[in-house]
Amino acid sequence: MIDIAFVKPALPRHGALVLPIGEGAEALGGLAQAVDAASGGAVQRALTAANFKGRKGQSCTIWAPALADGAAGPARIVAIGLGKEVTAEAAEAAGGALYGVIQAEREAVVSAEALPPPVAAALGMGLLLRSYRFDRYRTTEKEEDKPKLERLSIATDAASAAKAAWAPLRAVADGVFLTRDLVTEPPNILNPPEMAERCRALESLGLTVEIMGPKELKKLGMGAILGVAQGSAQEPRMVVMQWNGASKGKKGTAQRPVAFIGKGVTFDTGGISIKPAAGMEDMKWDMAGAGAVIGLMAALAGRKAKVDAVGLVGLVENMPSGSAQRPGDVVTTASGQTVEVINTDAEGRLVLADVLHYCQTRFAPRFMIDLATLTGAIIIALGHEHAGLFSNDDELAGRIMAAGKAVGEACWRMPLGEAYDKQIKSEIADMKNVGGRPGGSISAAQFIQRFVDTKAGPMPWAHLDIAGTAWSGKDLATSPKGATAFGLRLLDRLVAEHYEG
């Protein structure tokens, strides 16, 4: 991971010098002004010749600028546009774009004297997130093909304030990298037991981690999870992670926690209702919802969030075998409700059913939010630009959408209703696990909602279908092609804005 430091302004003698410039900026300032003066005005002339206006996404590179008296200077100067509004969001996007320009340099200095400390920190965050790279299994890569950037120094007169703004961002970035690692791992490495053990490693951050295996799940009556897992040689796990950032060390009754639940199907063949072979390798990331919850809990602990939070993940592998669950089977869930399994490839909702019930029964949380790569139907509806949001609570839904917009993880609220609920009516059980092709993502959400118990009072709940956003086939502003960790930053922002303190 790139080392990001906040330092006092000084012209670099090698590497890259980065000049973040807002659209309409009247004159160069700080290190930009100093290097322009040292080069006899060459920097300003180059920017003018390139028609650089500081527009969002615009960049201009000046190679090996000659400085007065032959003084040593940067190998390149890179101007990067911040757009009309110099905000943290704009700086983060600029940082992501910047990484692609300077990754061949070992060191770079950003002239951030004109940026407020939170904005300067956000630029570093964007660059760091965009720099993610999973190379654990590469053995023959040429040295010249590897990125070189090791250190980014952000030069500011308010270094202490910028460091303070950076600390929580770095903890969130660590969580994002953890999630991306988990989602990218091959399924022969990351099976349910291994994923559970990686959760246990988070105890070093102060999390309390409990791991439950088949015996415990059977005792809890979790027939839905066990039914999905019964075709695999890999045993299922349920992991409960707790962060007591609000009540730790305080006397009296702990507050009700906020709760996050993740679908963790470490590989999904579809089971007996087997998927087509083409593209099945992508199903290693059918645990991206669980991955986001694990990374989120690491981020909350890493930044010492003042909140009590629980994260629960149901971990299974969905395989076809002589012992696999069959279409037509009926399973009894932990809530006592029965499900007729029509399609074994609709397994994620079965996992969530048992985990949601356990979460509510044990913790009585302030709300429950589940994340799952649940349906292909949500991709047909929303493409890869939005996650599908389903909720029984308008306030919670509104907060989720606002938090997503703030961090670039967009959600679109989808409907729920009795007409959709009728689609999952079974002739022989309380419900069936699929409701047909029409409104497939909605009937799936209706299924999950049946395991949110509101008999004793309101239980705010939201379901995020991240099937279209958990993995990207192209580079994004702050995420390279591959696992995105979608949902983690959204939920961290949600907690920070509404549930801490």
- Minimal CA–CA distance to 315: which of 236, 242, 227, 222? 236
Are the CB atoms for 476 and 416 separated by under 8 Å?
no
Strand partners, 269: none
Q: Kindly state the greatest CA–CA separation across the chain.
A: 88
What does the angle CA 229 – CA 234 – CA 240 come to, to the nearest 5 degrees? 75
Are the CB atoms for 365 and 452 separated by under 8 Å?
no
Catalytic residues: 275, 349
Dist. CA 113–CA 106, nearest whole Å: 22
| 400-425 CB burial, b ≥16 within 10 A, e <16 | bbebbeebbbbbebbebeeebbebbe
Dist. CA 2–CA 233, nearest whole Å: 39
Pairing of strands 258-268, 308-318: parallel
Are the CB atoms for 443 and 381 separated by under 8 Å?
no
What does the angle CA 84 – CA 88 – CA 92 come to, to the nearest 5 degrees? 95
| 3-25 CB burial, b ≥16 within 10 A, e <16 | ebebeebebbeebbbbbbbbbeb
Are the CB atoms for 339 and 353 separated by under 8 Å?
yes
Dist. CA 97–CA 102, nearest whole Å: 9
What does the angle CA 150 – CA 89 – CA 205 come to, to the nearest 5 degrees? 55
Burial class (CB in 10 A: 0-12, 13-18, 19+), 41: exposed
